[in-house]
Amino acid sequence: MKTLNGKVALVTGASRGIGKGIALGLGEAGAIVYITGRTVEEGKTSVNLPGTIHQTAEEIAKLGGTCIAVHCDHLNDDEVKNVFQKIQTEQGRLDILVNNVWGGYEHFNDGTEFWKEKGFWTVPLSRWDKSFQAGVRAHYVASVLAVPTMIKQQSGLIVNISYFAAQRDDKGVSYSAAKAADDRMATSMAYELREHNVAVVSLYPGLVRTEGVMKAAEFFDLSNSESPQFIGRAIAALAADQEIMRKSGQILVAAAAAKEYGFTDIDGRQPKPITVNEA
């Protein structure tokens, strides 16, 4: 069901992983989806994982959707500004911004190096910088550039992709701090944007079957896992909700949204919402 026909979305960091899945979910719902990423050629990436922005666009087209892939390094403000100018020139509006881009995992080159450090003092300082510069700051910059258009429309939805690590002590200092910052950014932005009818939320996935997770599948219990596209379906449901302002400022869980809105994963299953203690 094309619930988002006529809507324009931007998903940052969509060459692979959750970002790609979000773009697929919004594309199948009928939105015109712009995506950003640095990978334009297979194999030429900072992580040893498959996927390019053009492959994502092709998969959306196979679902009957429309996707425009734009090469962009979110550490380069000029490139980011050009993305928003392109959307404004070509569409004249922006209804959905998904702040997904994340540079904090680039040290996991083979997909199996999951939090082996025994203390934050053993972690390279670059980990903190990447988590905040290619994560939190990138989300802030994109929001700053999206909001003027949304205010002019008096409508819009901004989604920060976050995680339960924001509320836990055992997920790494830089990772937990960055996700907590994303959550606080969402709630504070929601407060300032409420009068303009622009909603802002943080969204928590569960265990998502990304390329990185599947490369290390032996280390995970995938029995209650989610496809990347499931997260996109959650955002599509939120964007189609005429009462979305009631949720503005909240921290939401994708699987809980599925139960509320009645959608399933691509395999027909409905994953169980996990809690902070289960994450």
| pLDDT for residue 106 | 54
Query: Is residue 269 a part of any domain in this protein?
Result: no
User: What positions carry a catalytic annotation?
Assistant: 175
pLDDT value, residue 109: 44
Cβ atoms of 247 and 224 within 8 Å: the answer is no
Q: Does residue 61 fall inside a structural domain?
A: yes
pTM (2 decimals)? 0.94
pLDDT of residue 46: 66
Q: What is the mean pLDDT of each run of 10 residues along the chain (279 residues)?
A: 92 97 98 94 72 96 97 97 98 98 64 62 88 96 98 98 95 94 98 98 97 89 96 98 98 98 97 93
Tell me whether residue 275 is exposed, middle or buried, using C-beta atoms within 10 angstroms of its C-beta: 0 to 12, 13 to 18, 19 or more.
exposed
Secondary element (H or E) of residue 160:
strand 156-161
Domain that holds residue 248: 8-261
177 lies in some domain: yes
Q: Is residue 213 part of a domain?
A: yes
Find the CATH number of the domain harbouring 89.
3.40.50.720
Residues 6+ apart with CB under 8 A from 245: 194, 197, 199
Q: Show the beta-strand stretches assigned E in 43-127.
A: 66-71, 96-99
Tally of domains within the chain: 1
pLDDT at 209 (0 to 100): 96
Estimate to the nearest angstrom the gap between the alpha carbon of 39 and the chain centroid.
17
Give the C-alpha separation, 203 to 249, whole Å.
Answer: 11
pLDDT of residue 111: 42
Model pLDDT, residue 216: 85
Return the C-alpha torsion angle 145, 150, 156, 161, nearest 10.
Answer: 10
For residue 218, being part of any structural domain is answered with: yes
